[in-house]
């Protein structure tokens, strides 16, 4: 088993140090050691509770059981169904149905994971138990929090939960995804779509730009007199040159990106007038997609694991909270240094955390991890690009290993872009099959 699917078709920087092959071999070696040795160790029993059954939490719960079946694992999940965000931008553009994003937890019982289907409403870190919405208490020796993100409703004046019904964020997949799609479908040809992208950090750094690309694709093919304006609180973003080259080629006159330095930062929204406000002027929208500031899921704050940034600082080897002993935080809710908030990362972190928790419960020292992330983005249905990196623990955080990072080539032929679009779809099938299948 692997910590992550090795990145493909990426460029190495050519800097001296470990080669990509060395790094990936190291990662694979760590993974196989982590997943075989503890299964045989004695005394590694205990009770683990995992809150949040997304990419991070479900993976972690299942892998702890596979590493040491003597450990009792309870997975707490609030939603009746999981709706995956990766590829949800394609749903917004009408290229895919929401059903293809939906998954359940029927298979986790096969690994001996006990499922508690209710929101976790509190954590007593002193007495070590989690409270559910029905007041039931579940005791733990180790708690893993994997609640993903919450929208920071205080982060953008005028943007409230009610406002998101008119100006959807669609940054948690589900009803919001369909709402944005329907608004685009209902818009007259000639309408103006205005999107806003937040400052770092936020869930899925390339996500807003993939979304901009696929909305532009929708407009080009279905409403060619329309236009998309992307207001950005940043001057730089993930895979920027690849995206911008593709936009020039595919969407000239349709997609306009306004960076921070040109007045892109949205400072408030006026929902009644469908207007996004910046220091440089107002933008009236036919359809507004506001991607607001975010923070760790609320249970992380209730557990005392989130700091003043709203995110959870963790030890990069065990993912144990730097604020609360015996509580680990993985996935989007955690501050992971250089490692981006992605489903790929969440899945990789979950496996490392599972191995670390099993070691700690067995009284052993966790190994130093190496983790891979790869993020694919669709610029059009048959045009994919990617970014990849390998990370290790250094100076109390996860740092990118020098020379490990790479993006798709800038001047690739269309066959390469088509192949990367297929890889994006293939990656989604593989990861969701591993997590929920
Ligand atoms: C538009 C978009 C596109 C994206 N594309 C990609 C991509 O191409 N590749 C990629 O790798 N990543 C992508 N991502 C990012 C990816 O979706 C997230 O990084 C990933 O979902 C994080 O996993 P997680 O387990 O931390 O959180 P989630 O997957 O959100 O899971 C959190 C779970 O916790 C549950 N929960 C929360 N609080 C509680 C509670 N108190 N009690 C019980 N349950 C609780 C929730 O119901 C949820 O099921 C994209 C994101 C967006 C928005």
Whether the CB of 344 sits within 6 Å of ligand 1: yes
pLDDT given for residue 200 in this prediction: 98
Mean pLDDT of 93-100: 98
The yes-or-no verdict on residue 228 having pLDDT over 60 is yes
Q: Which pLDDT band holds residue 23 (cuts at 50, 70, 90)?
A: very low
Percent of the chain with pLDDT over 90: 89
Residue among 53, 147, 329, 333 whose CB has most ligand 1 atoms within 8 A, to mutate: 147
Q: How many A from CA of 84 to the centre of ligand 1? A: 7
Task: Tell me the per-residue pLDDT of 284-341, one tens digit each, with 9 for 90 and over.
Answer: 999 999 999 999 999 999 999 999 999 999 999 999 999 999 999 999 999 999 999 9
Q: How many A from CA of 207 to the centre of ligand 1? A: 13
- From atom 19 of ligand 1, which residue's Cα is the shortest distance away? 342
pLDDT given for residue 43 in this prediction: 32
pLDDT given for residue 237 in this prediction: 97
Q: How many A from CA of 224 to the centre of ligand 1? A: 33
Q: How many A from CA of 54 to the centre of ligand 1? A: 6
Q: How many A from CA of 83 to the centre of ligand 1? A: 9
Of all atoms in ligand 1, which is nearest to the CA of residue 350? 25
Whether the CB of 391 sits within 6 Å of ligand 1: no
Whether the CB of 59 sits within 6 Å of ligand 1: no
pLDDT given for residue 12 in this prediction: 30
Q: Which pLDDT band holds residue 420 (cuts at 50, 70, 90)?
A: very high
If you search the block for the tokens 């007041």, which residue do you land on?
Answer: 135
- From atom 4 of ligand 1, which residue's Cα is the shortest distance away? 86
Cα 65 from chain centroid (whole Å): 24
Q: List own/partner pairs for 82-86 with CB under 8 A and 24 or more apart.
A: 82/53, 82/54, 82/58, 82/436, 83/172, 83/173, 83/174, 83/177, 84/55, 84/173, 84/343, 84/428, 84/432, 85/171, 85/172, 85/173, 85/203, 85/204, 85/207, 85/343, 86/343, 86/428, 86/431
Mean pLDDT of 229-237: 98
pLDDT given for residue 282 in this prediction: 98
pLDDT given for residue 13 in this prediction: 32
If you count them, how many residues does the chain have?
A: 437
Q: How many A from CA of 6 to the centre of ligand 1? A: 21
Whether the CB of 342 sits within 6 Å of ligand 1: yes
Q: How many A from CA of 335 to the centre of ligand 1? A: 15
Mean pLDDT of 204-222: 98
Of all atoms in ligand 1, which is nearest to the CA of residue 86? 5
* Contact residues for 358 (Cβ-Cβ < 8 A; gap 6+): 38, 44, 64, 67, 68, 71
pTM given for the model: 0.91
The yes-or-no verdict on residue 4 having pLDDT over 60 is no
The yes-or-no verdict on residue 38 having pLDDT over 90 is no
pLDDT given for residue 9 in this prediction: 33
Task: Pick the range with the lowest mean pLDDT from 33-42, 221-230, 393-402.
Answer: 33-42
pLDDT given for residue 345 in this prediction: 98
The yes-or-no verdict on residue 361 having pLDDT over 90 is yes
Tell me the CA distances in angstroms from 40 to 43, 83, 96, one per residue in order. 10, 36, 44
**Between 10 and 281, residue with greater pLDDT:** 281
Mean pLDDT of 161-185: 98
Residue among 85, 181, 420 whose CB has most ligand 1 atoms within 8 A, to mutate: 85
Relative to beta strand 334-335, strand 312-313 is parallel
pLDDT given for residue 6 in this prediction: 37
Mean pLDDT of 43-65: 92
Of all atoms in ligand 1, which is nearest to the CA of residue 149? 30
pLDDT given for residue 77 in this prediction: 98
Cα 9 from chain centroid (whole Å): 22
Q: How many A from CA of 160 to the centre of ligand 1? A: 21
- From atom 37 of ligand 1, which residue's Cα is the shortest distance away? 147
The yes-or-no verdict on residue 93 having pLDDT over 50 is yes
Q: How many A from CA of 173 to the centre of ligand 1? A: 9
Whether the CB of 314 sits within 6 Å of ligand 1: no
Q: What sign does the dihedral 30-34-36-41 (CA atoms) show?
A: positive
Mean pLDDT of 252-260: 98
Q: HEC states along the chain?
A: CCCCCCCCCCCCCCCCCCCHHHHHHHHHHHHHHHHHHHHHCCCCCEEEEEECCCHHHHHHHHHHHHHCCCEEEEEECCCCCEECCCCHHHHHCCCCCHHHHEECCHHHHHHCCEEECCCEEEEECCCCEEEECCCCEEECCEEEECCCEEECCCCCCCCCCCHHHCCCCCCCCCHHHHHHHHHHHHCCCCCEEEEEECCCCCCCCCHHHHHHHHHHHHHHHHCCCCEEEEEECCCCCCCHHHHHHHHHHHCCCCEEEECHHHCCCEEEEECCCCEEEECCEEEECCEEEECCCEEECHHHHHCCCCCCCCCEEECCCCCEECCCCCEEECHHHEECCCCCCCHHHHHHHHHHHHHHHHHHHCCCCCCCCEEEEEEEEEEECCEEEEEEEEEEEECCEEEECCCCCEECCCCCCHHHHHHHHHHHHHHHHHHHHHHHC
The yes-or-no verdict on residue 25 having pLDDT over 60 is no
The yes-or-no verdict on residue 414 having pLDDT over 60 is yes
Whether the CB of 207 sits within 6 Å of ligand 1: yes
The yes-or-no verdict on residue 32 having pLDDT over 70 is no
If you search the block for the tokens 């600082």, which residue do you land on?
Answer: 313
Question: How far is the C-alpha of 407 from the C-alpha of 386, rounded, in Å?
Answer: 6
pLDDT given for residue 415 in this prediction: 98
């Amino acid at each position: 088993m692997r910590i992550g699917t090795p990145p493909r078709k990426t460029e190495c920087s050519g800097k001296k140090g470990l080669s990509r092959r060395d790094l990936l071999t190291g990662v694979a070696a760590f993974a196989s050691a982590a997943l075989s040795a503890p299964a045989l160790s004695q005394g590694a029993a205990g009770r683990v509770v995992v809150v949040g059954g997304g990419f991070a939490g479900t993976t972690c719960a299942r892998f702890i059981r596979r590493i040491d079946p003597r450990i009792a694992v309870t997975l707490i999940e609030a939603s009746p169904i999981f709706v995956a965000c990766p590829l949800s931008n394609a749903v917004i553009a009408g290229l895919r149905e929401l059903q293809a994003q939906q998954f359940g937890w029927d298979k986790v019982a096969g690994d001996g994971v006990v499922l508690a289907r209710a929101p976790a409403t509190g954590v007593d870190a002193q007495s070590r138990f989690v409270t559910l919405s029905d007041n039931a208490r579940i005791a733990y020796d180790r708690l893993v929090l994997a609640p993903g993100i919450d929208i920071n409703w205080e982060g953008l004046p005028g943007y409230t939960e009610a406002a998101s019904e008119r100006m959807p964020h669609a940054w948690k997949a589900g009803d919001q995804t369909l709402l944005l799609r329907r608004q685009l479908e209902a818009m007259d040809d000639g309408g103006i779509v205005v999107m806003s992208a937040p400052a770092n950090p936020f869930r899925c750094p390339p996500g807003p730009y993939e979304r901009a690309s696929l909305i532009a694709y929708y407009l080009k093919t279905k409403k060619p007199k329309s236009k998309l304006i992307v207001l950005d609180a940043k001057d730089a973003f993930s895979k920027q040159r690849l995206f911008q080259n593709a936009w020039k080629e595919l969407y000239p006159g349709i997609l306009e990106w306004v960076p921070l330095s040109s007045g892109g930062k949205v400072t408030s929204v006026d929902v009644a007038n469908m207007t996004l406000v910046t220091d440089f002027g107002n933008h009236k929208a036919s359809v507004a997609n506001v991607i607001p500031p975010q923070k760790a899921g609320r249970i992380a704050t209730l557990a005392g694991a989130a700091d003043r940034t709203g995110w959870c600082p963790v030890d990069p080897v065990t993912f144990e909270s730097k604020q609360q002993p015996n509580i680990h935080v993985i996935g989007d809710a955690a501050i992971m240094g250089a490692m981006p908030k992605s489903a790929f990362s969440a899945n990789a972190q979950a496996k490392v955390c599972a191995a670390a928790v099993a070691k700690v419960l067995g009284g052993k020292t966790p190994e130093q991890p190496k983790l891979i992330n790869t993020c694919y983005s669709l610029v059009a249905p048959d045009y994919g690009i990617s970014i990849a990196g390998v990370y290790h623990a250094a100076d109390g955080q996860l740092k990118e290993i020098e020379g490990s990072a790479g993006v798709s080539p800038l001047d690739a032929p269309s066959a390469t872009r088509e192949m990367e679009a297929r890889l994006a779809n293939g990656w989604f099938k593989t990861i969701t099959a591993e997590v929920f299948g």
